[in-house]
């Protein structure tokens, strides 16, 4: 199982700035399990900007109730182009509670970015009685966890890292919308399942209705994107039919930790940018070689053009003068090196520590 050293923890960015019903209070068990793995959680309640993703490894958004702005989507794409991880969770249409209804169309806005090149989309359709596009819901009248909307799915995939490399996931319980055009279907409904529109009309009978998928990408960068049709399945909401919270149902908790661990590996696999010192030596060697060649060519051309014979100089006669740096110059150099070493992750971790100290002082009062 992936864990992080204290000096270099995985940082998870949990967005709450778009009206998400499934916020940190309803994901307390799931987020606590990530912290037990050594990860740090950053909760966001502000509009996403160029500083939001400093030091972040994984971005999570449960089903939003508000659109992501144009600039916000640009910053998300820039974050992923650096080779990071993202989890987007929608929710099926649930007539009994509008708060639970998923807005896959808002998440699709992120996935549609041409530069990102993601393939997967949440299925949505406009209800004639309502202005907003709504997700569908996957049902199974034959084999379910109590009612047709509650799917009990067996995981037979023994090769995918999400199910085997961390904790073994053998089954899950979910209520989910469907995902179309995915690069890789990770979890699919059983053969008796079908997907139903907001008008209660089956629109899809299939042995391959995806409820969890890898979004895929057409561009060549090392990000990882997972899209899921259920936010509720990882929540603390207790369901009397299941006689447990959704998170505690079947192997839902294991699947959650596995997904985030797998997404975090995308950030760990990206080669860190070269430091100034690493770039300086090749630069000096390259410029020195070019300068030597130019000087030699110049000497030859001058000798040929002037008719003079080249004079051989012994290397022992050449004295190299070394200049000493003043203390002020050395001090300035040290300051520059210190500033270079301050990374985005360091700044983010420093902010996390400050927030925790503030929280402790408030509790004491």
Question: What tens digit of pLDDT does each residue of 296-324 get?
Answer: 666 565 556 555 554 555 545 544 444 44
pLDDT for 198 equals 85
- Token pair belonging to 125: 């359709």
Do 136 and 93 touch, CB atoms closer than 8 A?
yes
DSSP string covering 90-148: -----TT-GGG---HHHHHHHHT-TTT----EE-EEE-TTSSSEEE-EEE-SSS-SSST
Cα four-point dihedral sign 203, 205, 208, 213: positive
Q: Are 199 and 276 in contact (CB under 8 A)?
A: no
CA distance 176 to 234: 12
Give Cα separations from 144 to 121, 138, 191, 210, 241 (angstroms). Answer: 25, 11, 12, 16, 11
Determine the Cα–Cα distance for residues 150 and 139; give it in Å rounded to an integer: 7
Q: Distance (Å, rounded) from C-alpha 25 to C-alpha 11?
A: 19
H or E element in which residue 153 lies: strand 151-154
Neighbours of 204 (CB within 10 A): 17
pLDDT by residue for the chain (365 residues), tens only, comes to 444 446 689 999 999 999 999 999 999 999 999 999 999 999 999 999 989 999 999 999 999 999 999 999 999 999 999 999 999 999 998 877 887 888 899 999 999 998 888 889 999 987 666 667 889 999 999 999 999 999 999 998 878 999 999 999 999 999 999 999 888 899 999 889 999 988 888 887 877 899 999 987 656 678 899 999 999 999 999 999 999 999 999 999 999 999 999 999 987 765 444 343 444 455 556 666 676 676 766 656 555 655 555 455 554 554 444 444 444 444 444 454 444 445 667 777 777 777 666 555 555 55
Q: Per-domain residue ranges for the chain?
A: 11-269, 276-309
Distance CA 274, CA 281 (A): 12
How far apart are alpha carbons 54 and 347 in whole angstroms?
8
Q: What is the pTM of this model?
A: 0.76
Measure the CA dihedral 6/12/16/21, to 10°: -110
Alpha carbon distances (Å) from 120 to 65, 132, 278, 313, 336: 20, 20, 39, 70, 45
pLDDT of residue 364: 53
- pLDDT at position 365: 52
In this predicted structure, what is the pLDDT of residue 3? 44
pLDDT tens by residue, 128-178: 666 678 899 999 999 999 999 999 999 988 789 999 999 999 999 999 999
Measured CA to CA, the distance from residue 339 to residue 158 in angstroms comes to 47
Pairing of strands 137-139, 238-239: unpaired
Domain 11-269: give its CATH code: 3.40.50
């Amino acid at each position: 199982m992936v864990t992080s050293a204290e000096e270099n923890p995985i940082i998870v960015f949990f967005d709450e700035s778009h009206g998400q019903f499934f916020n940190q209070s309803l994901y307390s068990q799931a987020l606590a399990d990530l912290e037990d793995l050594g990860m740090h959680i950053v909760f966001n309640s502000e509009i996403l900007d160029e500083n939001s993703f400093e030091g972040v490894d994984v971005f999570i958004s449960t089903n939003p109730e508000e659109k992501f702005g144009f600039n916000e989507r640009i910053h998300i794409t820039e974050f992923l182009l650096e080779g990071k991880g993202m989890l987007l969770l929608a929710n099926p249409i649930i007539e009994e509670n509008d708060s639970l209804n998923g807005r896959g169309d808002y998440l699709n806005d992120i996935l549609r970015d041409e530069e990102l090149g993601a393939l997967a989309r949440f299925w949505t359709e406009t209800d004639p009685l309502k202005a907003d596009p709504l997700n569908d819901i996957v049902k199974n009248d034959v084999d379910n966890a109590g009612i047709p909307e509650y799917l009990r799915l067996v995981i037979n995939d023994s090769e995918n890292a999400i199910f085997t490399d961390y904790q073994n996931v053998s089954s899950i319980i979910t209520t989910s919308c469907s995902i179309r055009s995915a690069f890789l279907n990770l979890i699919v409904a059983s053969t008796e399942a079908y997907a139903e529109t907001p008008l209660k009309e089956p629109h899809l009978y299939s042995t391959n209705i995806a409820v969890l998928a890898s979004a895929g990408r057409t561009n060549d960068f090392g990000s990882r994107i997972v899209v899921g049709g259920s936010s509720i399945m990882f929540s603390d909401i207790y369901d009397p039919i299941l006689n447990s919270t959704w998170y505690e149902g079947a192997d839902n908790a294991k699947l959650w930790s596995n997904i985030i661990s797998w997404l975090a590996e995308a950030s760990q696999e990206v080669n860190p940018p070269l430091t100034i010192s690493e770039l300086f030596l090749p630069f000096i060697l390259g410029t020195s070689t070019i300068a030597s060649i130019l000087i030699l060519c110049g000497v030859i051309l001058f000798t040929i053009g002037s008719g003079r014979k080249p004079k051989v100089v012994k290397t022992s006669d050449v004295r190299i003068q070394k200049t000493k740096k003043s203390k002020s110059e050395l001090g300035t150099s040290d300051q520059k090196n210190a500033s270079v070493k301050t990374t985005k992750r360091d700044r983010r971790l420093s902010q996390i520590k400050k927030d925790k100290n503030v929280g402790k002082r408030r509790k004491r009062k």
